[in-house]
Structure 1
Amino acid sequence: MTRTAAEHRRHILATVTPLPPATVDLAATGGLVLAGDVRSTTAIPLFDNSAMDGYAVRAAELTGADEHAPVAMPVSADIPAGATRIDPLAPGTVARIMTGAPLPEGADAIVPVERSDGGTEQVHLTLAPEVGRHVRRAGDDLAAGDLVLAAGTTLGARHVAAAAAAGHGRLTVHPRPRVAVISSGTELIAPGTTPEHGQIPDSNSYLLAELVRQAGADPIRIGAVPDDEATFARILAETSGQVDAIICSGGVSVGAYDVVKAVLAPEPAMWFGPVAMQPGKPQGFGRLGDGTLVFTLPGNPVSVYVSFEVFVAPALRALAGHAASPEIPVTAARAWQGWSSPAGREQFMPVRIVTAATESDPVEVVRVQPASARGSGSHLVGTLASADALARVPAEVTEVRPGDLIDLLEGTER
């Protein structure tokens, strides 16, 4: 039974659930999705402290101080940041204090060092501060127990910093998926080696491994395996259970040597069939008996790229705990140059961005043209590198004309 690209995507995302949470060191959480709320273990700041290098004072003792009438005060203490034992501030004295240092009991304001002569035993101050001037009060930011980060947050630098400040050295997150990448084909050889007639470099496993990395998962590139059912079945058995997902390219059509489909088709939770799209018609997806997800993609590199962006990338994000839309997110673009599209098949065309929007265009969109002058050939891996995005053409459209509005897939720019 033929599926549309939207139907296949929805089926995949309905199958995928986030990986079970794991508690990891804070330093390893960047880019991961928080699996539970994080609350502050303490007040932030923990204690009243100075927001400036200067002098901790009693504001009432400096009434009238200014540039023309400095007030001389003895310096009774020197308080660096990190000090843990602070004596109360004696009346009639000030304490030299550094930014972040605890405010001594009795002090209620800070005079910045710039409003002084910098004295260490006696200082002349030229500011009459109001109570609370340059003082950070305990709990000004958060009280103990306040929500710092909500479950579902994708952790970036500022989130990690907030968790650290709130007293957390470890966080419970959805782990980064581990994804094995396998290319199928006896004709495939390692890049950089000299091919014999009929052989080609294995570009797919490198393409997929980098796409997996860009999707936020950890790739395990197994590389090329020959068109031999026993060999493929052995590698599959060795890999399954060691990773969260396996991506295979090639060997999923109806040819005599399509070993991926031959080995996996008997699995009860696997689906193989055509998807009404170009490129990427032959697709497969399912789970092995141990729960490992399996994506089987066509063998041509452009088909691999398109299939990954449309089907695999959102699934890996869902596996990592990110929200993934069952609908394909798109933005508007305008065709700078026309091209043809097959009837009855949704087309995903690698395109280059030619120009940005102009003031004369009432629709503020970029302009695009096919990345290759040869059109949409699924083997055109050399020109794939010049693509900026994927354009989506509906199945009922057979001709894209210059000036037509079209959809660009969000997130496919590299």
Structure 2
Amino acid sequence: MLSVAQAEALILGLVQPFNPEQDSEALNVSGNVSGARGRILARPVTSTLNFPHWDNSAMDGYAVRFEDIQDCSPEHPVTLEIVEEIPAGYQPQRVIGKGQAARILTGSVMPSGADTVVMQENAQRVGNQVTLQIAPSPGAFVRRQGEFYTAGDPLLPAGLVLQAPEIAVLAAAQCAQVRVYRQPRVAILSTGNELVEIDQPLQPGQIVDSNQYALAALVAQTGALPQGLGRVPDDPASLKQAVAEAIASADVVLSSGGVSVGDYDYVEEILASLGGEIHIRAVAIKPGKPLTVATFSRQPETGTTLSIPPSSSPLLYFGLPGNPVSALVTCWRFVQPALRKLAGMPQSGWGPTFVTAKTRTRLSSDGKRESYLWGCLSLVNGQFEFDLVRGSHSSGNLINLAGTNGLAVLPIGKTQVQAGELVTVMLVGSP
């Protein structure tokens, strides 16, 4: 049985990130903001524009020549003639000469001849004249052309996730189309005769297949495309067919259930029969010990034709535990980082993210496996604090997982953390 760290390193080592040429597509940003959000740049972006596009004012005030006002003071004020008004969007028509100034607004183009802006709060205007008593520094409140960005330089790097700031930059730079990695396709299936759909009446012994919904939501949250393949009965032939179809249609396959040592746990045997190479069978994590990880070549031995773009990256198969909390914890801990690496994110973005928090409640574990206890993380006076949720911390108790945004981590050998002590917490939501 592998440790959590060993399993994480092995899984990430199996993932080959998408190829920026082979596994990318053109994305139109114009008119498709919702579709652009969350996508990952496959190529660096440059622009033909300078930022600012031209010298402009950072303040409402007066554009002047510094040499005209450098010696002004309350004792020796300087009065200048206002020769032009320059609102935003207006191209200046006058050259500012000796003893002259232009009224200018924030963002407006600096007129030729002027090199400094005086804030309007430091000026007194009477008619077409302005009197100054305080000399600013040379070049004050002038944003120079290309000061923020020079045309032709790298603007946004490959691997960057497009969110509101990046989309704003693309729009301002008139980059209407960019190259992004395609979204990983993730096939999701659940095994078990006891599973039913959300709207199906429950019979004795039956439960709703909540894993299908939870895993699809996590996959979508990671930026990948979930493909729900539904429920598969505990029948070797049916399961083998479903797994073969999943392998042929996805970049990653998630199955839940059937990976333990019960009489109806067939997943590992079926993976081997389909040509899969099994790398992990169990991990010393609680909850989530029975975890199967395998890889397949892009052309499975069944001879099924692939319905995904060709890729040099092997298909990754995760056989997750069937218990709902175990499935979610293993997905948070191992699957999401793998998906982020596959999708083209830089290593700094793979996650998961850990913080140190003060626990408000006593935490306990048997110390035999690395334990993940779910609860609520909050930021109080600049320090994270963690509250263990009430109720059973059974891997089958999905109910008290609602509202969870952090998992307190107790390493192997650690059986207790007292209230008020510090603990490592893995983020699974926003504190």
TM-score by length of 1: 0.78
Separation of aligned partners in 2, 1:101 and 1:74: 16
Counterpart of 1:361 in structure 2 is none
Counterpart of 2:307 in structure 1 is none
User: 1:74 offset after TM fit, Å?
Assistant: 5.6
Question: Does residue 1:308 correspond to 2:360, yes or no?
Answer: no
- Cα distance change, pair 305–99 in 1 and its aligned pair in 2 (3 A): same
Question: Does residue 1:390 correspond to 2:390, yes or no?
Answer: no
Fraction of identical pairs, as percent = 36
User: In the alignment, is the contact (CA less than 8 A) between 2:293 and 2:319 conserved in 1?
Assistant: yes
Counterpart of 2:114 in structure 1 is 107
Counterpart of 2:13 in structure 1 is 14
Q: Aligned residue pairs: how many?
A: 400
User: In the alignment, is the contact (CA less than 8 A) between 2:82 and 2:130 conserved in 1?
Assistant: no
Partner SS state of residue 427, structure 2: coil
Question: Does residue 1:124 correspond to 2:129, yes or no?
Answer: yes
- Cα distance change, pair 327–165 in 1 and its aligned pair in 2 (3 A): closer
The amino acid across from 2:93 in the alignment is D
Counterpart of 2:306 in structure 1 is none
User: In the alignment, is the contact (CA less than 8 A) between 1:341 and 1:393 conserved in 2?
Assistant: no
Q: What do you get for the CA RMSD once the two structures are aligned? A: 4.0
Counterpart of 1:336 in structure 2 is 361
Separation of aligned partners in 2, 1:114 and 1:340: 65
Question: Does residue 1:323 correspond to 2:347, yes or no?
Answer: yes
User: In the alignment, is the contact (CA less than 8 A) between 2:95 and 2:112 conserved in 1?
Assistant: yes
User: In the alignment, is the contact (CA less than 8 A) between 1:40 and 1:142 conserved in 2?
Assistant: no
- Cα distance change, pair 12–158 in 1 and its aligned pair in 2 (3 A): same
Counterpart of 2:3 in structure 1 is 4
The amino acid across from 1:309 in the alignment is W
User: In the alignment, is the contact (CA less than 8 A) between 1:249 and 1:304 conserved in 2?
Assistant: yes
Partner SS state of residue 332, structure 2: helix
Pick one of 346, 356, 367 that aligns with 2:370: 346
Separation of aligned partners in 2, 1:163 and 1:98: 26
The amino acid across from 2:2 in the alignment is R
TM-score by length of 2: 0.75
- Cα distance change, pair 137–5 in 1 and its aligned pair in 2 (3 A): closer
Separation of aligned partners in 1, 2:351 and 2:121: 59
User: In the alignment, is the contact (CA less than 8 A) between 1:116 and 1:123 conserved in 2?
Assistant: no
The amino acid across from 2:410 in the alignment is V
Unaligned runs of 5+ in 2: 299-313
- Cα distance change, pair 356–168 in 1 and its aligned pair in 2 (3 A): closer
Counterpart of 2:52 in structure 1 is 45
User: In the alignment, is the contact (CA less than 8 A) between 2:79 and 2:131 conserved in 1?
Assistant: yes
Aligned ranges 1:1-400 → 2 under 5 Å: 2-21=1-20, 22=24, 23-26=26-29, 27=33, 29-39=36-46, 41-58=48-65, 71=79, 73=81, 75=83, 77-83=84-90, 86-89=92-95, 91=97, 94-112=101-119, 123-127=128-132, 132-165=139-172, 168-271=175-278, 273-290=281-298, 291-320=314-343, 321-323=345-347, 329=354, 331=356, 336-337=361-362, 339-341=364-366, 343=368, 345-351=369-375, 366=385, 368-369=387-388, 371-374=389-392, 376-385=393-402, 387-397=404-414, 399-400=415-416
User: In the alignment, is the contact (CA less than 8 A) between 1:66 and 1:125 conserved in 2?
Assistant: no
- Cα distance change, pair 402–65 in 1 and its aligned pair in 2 (3 A): closer
The amino acid across from 1:379 in the alignment is G
Separation of aligned partners in 2, 1:58 and 1:365: 53
Separation of aligned partners in 2, 1:50 and 1:412: 44
- Cα distance change, pair 147–250 in 1 and its aligned pair in 2 (3 A): same
User: In the alignment, is the contact (CA less than 8 A) between 2:374 and 2:404 conserved in 1?
Assistant: yes
- Cα distance change, pair 334–54 in 1 and its aligned pair in 2 (3 A): closer
Larger displacement relative to structure 2 (56-65 or 149-158): 56-65
The amino acid across from 2:326 in the alignment is S
Separation of aligned partners in 2, 1:134 and 1:67: 24
- Cα distance change, pair 179–95 in 1 and its aligned pair in 2 (3 A): same
Q: Deviations over 1:189-239 (max 9, x none)?
A: 222432112211111111112222333434333433333445444444444
Separation of aligned partners in 1, 2:408 and 2:121: 59
Unaligned runs of 5+ in 1: 359-363
Larger displacement relative to structure 2 (200-209 or 30-39): 30-39
